[in-house]
Amino acid sequence: MTKMTLSEELTWRGFINQTTFKDIKELDKEKRTFYHGFDASADSQTIGNLAAMMFDKVFIRHGYKAILLAGGATSLIGDPGGKDIERPMQSEDTILHNVAMAEKQLKQIFREDTFTLVNNLDWIKSMSTIEFLRDVGKYFGMSTLVQRDYIQKRIGDGGSGMSYTEFSYTLLQGYDFLHLYRKYGCTLQLAGSDQWGNSLSGVDLIRKIEGQETHVITLPLIINKATGKKFGKSEEGAIWLDSEKTSSYKFYQFWLNVDDEGVGDYIKIYTLIAPEEFDTLMQEFQANPSDRSAQKYLAYEVTKLVHGEESAQSAKNVTA
């Protein structure tokens, strides 16, 4: 078995979308500290978020240090990216509950990994408005910000407009990166493709204030090939990681019923299968697709990761 480099594995799994690296092989030269932020707008993460967690796991396996961020502060503001209208404002108590649930799920998924868990409310809440405007806001040019695609869509002709609250979201995310750079030496942000612009805010802020180069890598939007829609929290029929919202049986069934066309991609994304094992599995599957051996492997492994081996075995037994 030939061990892949980090850049090779990310490419093989289909995890690279956009990056500030000129050559993705730069990832193989230095073990960095990275951070990845998780939204707390709902009381559970989804399988869309799970793909992001698997992205993180690949870096951890290759010796990178992980900082997982629960967005207590940013979720109070609401991410405007990908939204045609402003999100309803949620209470602080609701967000604090959601953060606690996000942290619980992150600890479950990363139970075999070493990582640092943080909440950006811890460092943003204590900042005064004057501090924020002087220490962060002064480094962001309006002409650059209004060129962001999601802002253009909202403030352009036919758009619903955007409040200053939402407009400031990207500054908060940029400040997160700066804070983590200063405290932990974090030089890499991992994010979903919809966070590309917000992620660049941190890169720009660190360069302007600290004179240091940092980087961003985004993973592609994971699409439900059956519906053509993303695996998001706001999508109808979302598959949640919380068994109270999506039972472990229903969770298992979802993966068992993915179509033949997409199952290979999902296995690469949602499991840590090695290429040699993947090739063997897919050869067996293609020889007898009706047995659904690939779907069975996917359903068991992902259910075991999220809900534990006992729940995975129980769902498998009920299905058999």
Segment 272-290, tens digit of pLDDT: 999 999 999 999 999 999 9
Residue numbers of the chain with a pLDDT score lower than 70 = 1-2, 82-83, 226-228, 230, 232-236
β-pair type (215-219, 188-192)? parallel
Both tokens assigned to 89: 């404002």
State the Cα–Cα distance between residues 83 and 200, nearest whole angstrom: 19
Query: pLDDT at position 79, please?
Result: 82
Segment 155-203, tens digit of pLDDT: 877 777 888 888 899 999 999 999 999 999 999 999 999 999 999 999 9
pTM of the model: 0.94
Residue pair 47/241 in contact (Cβ under 8 Å)? The answer is: yes
b/e code 191-211 from CB counts within 10 Å (16+ = b) = bbebbbbbbbbbbbbbeeeee
- Secondary structure (DSSP) of 104-166: HHHHHHTTTS--EEEETHHHHTT--HHHHHHHTGGG--HHHHTTSHHHHHHHSTT-----HHH
Query: pLDDT at position 45, please?
Result: 97
Residue pair 180/217 in contact (Cβ under 8 Å)? The answer is: no
How are strands ordered across the β-sheet holding 188-192? Answer: 18-19, 215-219, 188-192, 33-38, 65-70, 116-119
Which domains does the chain show, CATH number per domain? 6-224 (3.40.50.620), 248-319 (1.10.240.10)
b/e code 119-134 from CB counts within 10 Å (16+ = b) = bbbeebeeeeeeeeee
Query: pLDDT at position 292, please?
Result: 97
Query: pLDDT at position 232, please?
Result: 62
Residue pair 57/81 in contact (Cβ under 8 Å)? The answer is: no
